[in-house]
């Protein structure tokens, strides 16, 4: 027994000695500004055991084990050793496995061919995002490495977080948060709190970097809350390679008096599916596909399905649909089994962060089920051969599967339309919306050479712009306009208002209460109390985490992205005055040693807003590029034509009637009035009955048949931008030659054979034909005009002249004019044949526009009692 006791002490001696050596090495390599603080704290803890360690016998712990990554890539034993060791995730195995064998492991585990099961004829997405791009089926799927706009900046070029240009530590992230981003309440004069809330909902559809060292089965292991199972703030864990915690500076006005000396932050897990500098994984699909509603895997979707009529699981409370209860309330770190308060479950695990976010999830759950019930009544066709979201193919597709996937298609389309037509415009402003081709037009083309994979700069910096819009106080407003405010800091992971029928009141509060002004000021609800549980006195600092996370992910300094986006080079702090307010530049010059040290998040969020938008030019550039890729790189984007999943024109027109106001009215049972523009502070609330409502009749068998007829041009629709440019050149060249040859041969024939026929009438008709030719060719050239970046990179190949539409009419007009001009050699009366062109135009105008308007039957008369009855029935649907 005595020998075993000494062996236990020996284990502690060895661990503490190793910790001391690692800490000293860490300091000498300048890992971060927190190293010396943590070293001092570790030495104090070690003194208490120093006397017991003298007699201890050295004991070696057992070696590592290889634990498989959830996505199939080895991870647990591939931790990135920071600073002095200069290893990346795969290199950390090189002491155990030869390099060639290690590369083979990566190739086997991380390059699995997911394209073998892709079905080009399927109009439905896969839940994990695979096979969206048929040539590159892994693009945008869940579990792959994030992309980058610029190469990463690590101290050692591989994994260690960067340091200042001078080689010293970067400023402490908590200190930057306190001084550059203090709390100051400045309500927005224009925008409602809904702008922030919808932005968070969108964010939870696009990006989530899993943490290193976390239990993969834990539902909230990525949240970073104080109850997180990944603890990086105890002295024996500060030096672990998967920890990158933030030391609280001495004299901190909030945390120091509470005795808090460390803010917990594990590093993001490395994406081990490629060699080279450390990259991070996005565990969600990159596309705007409603993964926060349906999940990012076939397993997630299956757990949320009811398997009846295409419905998602719900729980009912006094006739109201609520999200289903947590699947594991005993371990979700949110539910309370003692009080019977059970949290919720949705497609994204962060659903319970605060009541307003949970309310948004509930709205979209109800929207799916409402559409599923209506489509079930419409009896959509079943039995076609399609690929299931996870890749399985059934012959024919089961009615239950179609019943789920058809409403998912429509809900995704409505969601995308709201993002591009309502949320993005006030964020980016009109110039950026046009520059990046983000304005919804009703019809667009898929670009298979565009990779929609979310970038690291977007996920770790730019799309965190909404943090400045958060008001620390939310409101519940009832049907009588009685207001009940509640503080965000008191309701993290406490969504139980919804069990008391308060969802409508929370939504009403988001619509009527202003959000905070877009500026450098951030509420203490997230800089002192982030994820604070109700029995705790403090939480985390969201802004400090943002800064530290950017360094963890190897984001380059802010000035590099400023130059990338604007071409402007800032070499001194004074150079920033062009884009940044003077008081912020003064703070930067005090806190940072050099302008090239400034972190991307703080530099981007403090820029002066672009004209008509909220963000500055750098974030507008990063967001604009990302949402452009999400639009043109998504084969299932709702406006694209010529794809297997394309909607018929009449279906697109119905989708374009969608608005967030309409979605809220149909799914919030007591919401009777709402402002049409929900992102803006209410000016004039409209009755819900006056809002446009999409009709489901466009998704009947006949309309679905029309939509499938567009597949005959799928091959042309999947051309790359460069191919479109080349094809357009050939098309224009062909018709330009025709436009020159026809009148030239006609004139030559008259000069040689019928010179006496060169009359004034001939001259006028010849001039008329030249105007027709010139107008058609020039219009085609304008439609096919390609756009290039300043560096000469092709951005948009222009409209594909081979895809029909207006281009086909122009080509037909050139052919008709050439034919008439040739026939006029035999008879001048042949020119009357040209009148068929305006005649056909008038006929089409009458059939498609004037006729239906003149002969539209009057609406049936309806008394007030019958109207109210129908409205109640519609709400139940």
Nearest CA to 140 out of 496, 471, 549, 451 is that of 451
Global pTM reads 0.71
Nearest CA to 633 out of 420, 440, 453, 789 is that of 453
Quote the tokens at residue 416: 């995308």
Quote the tokens at residue 359: 């309310």
Cβ atoms of residues 12 and 56 within 8 Å: yes
Of the listed 80, 193, 204, 354, which one is catalytic? Answer: 204
Tell me the pLDDT tens digit for each residue of 628-683. 999 999 999 999 999 999 999 999 999 999 999 999 999 999 998 999 999 999 87
Q: Output the pLDDT for position 85.
A: 32
CA atoms within 13 A on the CB side of 775: 10
Tell me the pLDDT tens digit for each residue of 180-233. 999 999 999 999 999 999 999 999 999 999 998 765 434 334 344 444 567 888
Q: Output the pLDDT for position 97.
A: 33
Residues tagged in the binding site annotation for heme b = 467
**How many residues are there in the chain?**
877
Nearest CA to 353 out of 207, 466, 201, 502 is that of 201
Q: Output the pLDDT for position 384.
A: 42
Q: Output the pLDDT for position 215.
A: 54
Look up 395 and say whether it is catalytic: no
Extract the residue ranges of the chain whose pLDDT is less than 50: 1-7, 9-39, 41-109, 216-227, 381-396, 702-703, 705-718, 857, 859-860, 862, 870, 873-874, 876-877
Q: Output the pLDDT for position 258.
A: 95
Q: Output the pLDDT for position 699.
A: 73
Domain ranges for the chain:
719-834
Taking each helix axis as running N to C, give the angle between helix 173-180 and helix 582-591, from 0 to 180 degrees, rounded to the nearest 10.
150
Give burial (CB, 10 Å; 0-12/13-18/19+) of 432: buried
**Beta-ladder partners of 268:** 211
């Amino acid at each position: 027994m005595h020998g075993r006791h000494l062996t236990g002490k020996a284990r502690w001696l060895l661990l503490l000695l190793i910790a001391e050596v690692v800490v000293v090495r860490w300091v000498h390599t300048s890992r971060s500004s927190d190293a010396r603080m943590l070293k001092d704290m570790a030495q104090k803890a070690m003194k208490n055991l120093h006397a017991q360690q003298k007699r201890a016998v050295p004991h070696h712990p057992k070696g590592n084990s290889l634990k498989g990554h959830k996505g199939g890539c080895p991870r647990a034993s591939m931790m990135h050793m920071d600073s002095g060791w200069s290893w990346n995730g795969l290199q950390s195995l090189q002491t155990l496995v030869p390099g060639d064998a290690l590369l083979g492991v990566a190739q086997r585990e991380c390059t699995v061919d997911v394209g073998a099961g892709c079905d080009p004829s399927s109009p439905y997405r896969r839940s994990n995002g695979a096979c969206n791009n048929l040539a590159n089926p892994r693009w945008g799927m869940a579990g792959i490495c994030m992309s980058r706009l610029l190469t990463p900046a690590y101290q050692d070029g591989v994994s260690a977080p960067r340091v200042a240009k001078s080689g010293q530590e970067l400023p402490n992230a908590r200190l930057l948060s306190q001084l550059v981003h203090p709390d100051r309440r400045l309500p927005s004069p224009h925008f409602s709190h809904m702008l922030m809330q919808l932005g968070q909902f969108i964010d939870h559809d696009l990006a989530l970097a899993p943490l290193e060292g976390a239990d993969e089965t834990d539902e909230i292991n990525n949240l970073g809350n104080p109850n997180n199972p990944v603890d990086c703030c105890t002295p024996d864990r500060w030096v672990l390679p998967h920890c990158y915690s933030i030391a609280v500076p001495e004299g901190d006005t909030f945390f120091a008096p509470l005795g808090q000396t460390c803010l917990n932050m594990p590093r993001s897990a490395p994406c081990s599916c490629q060699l080279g500098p450390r990259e991070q994984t996005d565990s969600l699909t990159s596309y705007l596909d409603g993964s926060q509603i349906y999940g990012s895997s076939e397993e997630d979707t299956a757990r949320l399905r009811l398997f009846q009529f295409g419905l998602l699981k719900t729980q009912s409370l006094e006739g109201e649909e609520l999200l289903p209860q947590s699947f594991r309330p005993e371990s979700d770190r949110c539910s309370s089994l003692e009080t019977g308060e059970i949290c919720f479950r949705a497609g994204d695990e962060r659903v319970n962060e605060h009541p307003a976010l949970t309310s948004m999830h509930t709205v979209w759950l109800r929207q799916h089920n409402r559409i599923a019930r209506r489509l079930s009544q419409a009896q959509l066709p079943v039995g076609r051969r399609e690929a299931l979201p996870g890749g399985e193919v059934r012959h024919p597709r089961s009615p239950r599967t179609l019943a789920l996937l058809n409403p998912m298609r429509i809900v995704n389309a409505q969601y995308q339309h709201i993002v591009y037509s309502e949320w993005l415009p006030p964020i980016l402003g009109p110039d950026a919306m046009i520059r990046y081709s983000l304005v919804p037009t009703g019809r667009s083309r898929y670009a298979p050479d565009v990779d929609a994979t979310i970038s690291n700069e977007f996920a770790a910096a730019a799309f965190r712009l909404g943090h400045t819009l958060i008001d620390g106080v939310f409101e519940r407003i009832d049907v009588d306009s009685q207001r009940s405010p509640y503080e965000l800091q008191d309701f993290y992971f406490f969504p139980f208002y919804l069990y008391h029928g308060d969802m409508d009141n929370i939504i009403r509060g988001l619509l009527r209460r202003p959000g905070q002004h877009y500026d450098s000021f951030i509420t203490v609800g997230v800089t002192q109390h982030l994820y604070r549980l109700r029995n705790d006195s403090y939480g985390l600092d969201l802004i400090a985490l943002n800064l530290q996370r950017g360094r963890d992910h190897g984001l380059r300094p802010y000035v590099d992205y400023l130059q990338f986006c604007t071409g402007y080079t800032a070499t001194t702090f004074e150079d920033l005055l062009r884009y940044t307010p003077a008081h912020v530049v003064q703070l930067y010059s005090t806190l940072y040693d050099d302008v090239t040290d400034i972190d991307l998040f703080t530099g981007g969020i403090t820029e002066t807003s672009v004209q008509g938008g909220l963000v500055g030019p750098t974030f507008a550039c990063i967001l604009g590029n990302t949402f452009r890729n999400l639009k043109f790189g998504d084969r299932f984007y709702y406006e694209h034509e010529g794809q297997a999943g394309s909607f018929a024109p009449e279906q697109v027109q119905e989708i374009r009637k969608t608005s967030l106001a309409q979605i809220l009215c149909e799914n919030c049972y007591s919401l009777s009035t709402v402002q049409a523009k929900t992102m803006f502070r209410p000016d004039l609330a409209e009755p819900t009955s006056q809002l446009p409502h999409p009709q489901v009749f466009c998704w009947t068998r006949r309309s679905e048949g029309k939509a499938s007829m567009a597949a005959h041009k799928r091959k042309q629709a999947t051309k790359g931008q460069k191919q479109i440019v080349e094809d357009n050149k050939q098309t224009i060249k062909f018709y330009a030659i025709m436009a020159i040859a026809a009148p030239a041969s006609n004139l030559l024939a008259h000069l040689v054979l019928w010179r006496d026929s060169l009359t004034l009438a001939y001259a006028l008709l010849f001039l008329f034909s030249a105007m027709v030719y010139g107008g058609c060719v020039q219009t085609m050239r304008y439609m096919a005009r390609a756009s290039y970046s300043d560096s000469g990179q092709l951005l948009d190949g222009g409209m594909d002249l081979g895809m029909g539409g207006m281009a086909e009419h122009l080509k037909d007009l050139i052919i008709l004019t050439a034919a008439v001009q040739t026939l006029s050699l035999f008879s001048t009366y042949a020119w009357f044949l040209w009148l068929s062109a305006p005649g056909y135009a008038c006929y089409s105008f009458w059939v498609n526009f004037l006729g239906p308007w003149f002969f539209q039957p009057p609406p049936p008369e309806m008394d007030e009692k019958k109207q109210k009855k129908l409205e109640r029935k519609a709400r139940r649907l």
